[in-house]
Amino acid sequence: MEAIVKTDFKFPNQVDVYKGKVRDVYNINNDLLVMSVSDRISAFDVVLPKGIPYKGQVLNQLAAKFLKATEDIVPNWSIAVPDANITVGHFCEPFKVEMVIRGYLTGHAWRTYKSGDRELCGVPLPEGMKEHQKFPEPIITPSTKAEMGAHDEDISREEILKKGIVSEEDYLLLEQFTKAVFKRGTEIAAEQGLILVDTKYEFGKKDGKIYLIDEIHTPDSSRYFYADGYEERLAKNEPQKQLSKEFVREWLMENGFQGKEGQKIPEMTEEFVNSVSERYIELYEKVSGEKFVKSNSENALERMERNVISFLKESTIRKE
């Protein structure tokens, strides 16, 4: 299959389009958003040169499943999934922070801890912890929402409020929703024999109401460990068996790339690209408990455009 790495749709009543690292978001009449989830892959805030077949479908369908499973906690932006790679939803004004929540000392948190720091985003970290150990309680470590090509940056709750990035009233709600959705995600993961390690959520506002936006609990925004053997591996200081994008970051680091100036992205061989695709499909099946059905890859862009236009027409007719 040819990976879907670029879209350039022109939908009826389209106002503008935002091209993110992975998603292309089309604004329809400042009322609806058409989110096209590509097969692009990013790491260290850099979009890698090759796409990963079926990655976009995995992300879109997993996000749809988890948004549905958490809509009783907080309203979300999703209205319909007219195509395997596309979600249509409410146009919301996004908050300029990402709500990162961590249940375990892993990834960026561990790298910070290993360097000697005992504070992350203003949150104190306990002494004497080891890599992959569970925190006494999940911690929220927000980051600024970067434009494409820029790096997300850690920021504390105090800085967010001091700079007026989010009002205190809204921020308290964002924290409340973040903890509750993470708890639900943790419960769903446990049913599948997985541990939801850490994740991030994005929120926006429409007509004064807060919505959960973008996607949740996918391998691009979340890290999962296999529950079976977790304690044994932790006790032996062995790497955890995980389902996430971390293995891509580790492969890049092993090959001398961490997104820093002057570093060259290593060659992505066909074998490597296919192995990443297989890992994404494995995660979909493990997390969802469902068999992954590959979408028709022939003329994928035409299929996506046709399905969206058909949905938008039906939506207009219903409104009339």
Tokens of 57: 């479908």
Tell me what pLDDT residue 315 has: 80
Match 């104190």 to its residue by tokens.
124
> With contact defined as beta carbons under 8 Å apart, do 10 and 36 qualify?
no
For the domain made up of 94-248, give the CATH fold: D-amino Acid Aminotransferase; Chain A, domain 1 (3.30.470)
Tell me what pLDDT residue 2 has: 85
Tell me what pLDDT residue 197 has: 97
Q: Are strands 78-83 and 46-47 parallel, antiparallel or unpaired?
A: unpaired
Same fold, 14-92+267-319 and 94-248: no
Long-range contacts formed by 235-244: CB under 8 A, 24+ apart: 237/130, 237/131, 240/106, 240/132, 242/197, 243/194, 243/219, 243/279, 243/282, 243/283, 243/286, 243/287, 244/197, 244/219, 244/283
Q: How far is CA 130 from CA 45, 134, 142, 154, 293, in A?
A: 26, 9, 22, 22, 39
Question: Per-residue b/e over 240-266, b at no fewer than 16 CB within 10 Å?
Answer: bebbbbbebbebbeeeebeeeeeeebe
Taking alpha carbons only, the member of 219, 289, 225, 259 closest to residue 52 is 219
Task: Measure the CA–CA gap between 273 and 52, rounded to whole angstroms.
Answer: 6
Task: Measure the CA–CA gap between 297 and 287, rounded to whole angstroms.
Answer: 23
Domain boundaries, the chain: 14-92+267-319, 94-248
| CATH number at 14-92+267-319 | 3.30.200.20
pTM beyond 0.75, yes or no: yes
Mean pLDDT by 10 residues, the chain (320 residues): 92 94 95 96 92 96 97 97 97 96 96 96 97 98 73 90 97 98 97 96 96 92 94 96 85 94 94 93 92 89 96 76
Interacting residues of 228 by C-beta distance below 8 A, sequence separation 6+: 193
Task: Measure the CA–CA gap between 316 and 320, rounded to whole angstroms.
Answer: 6
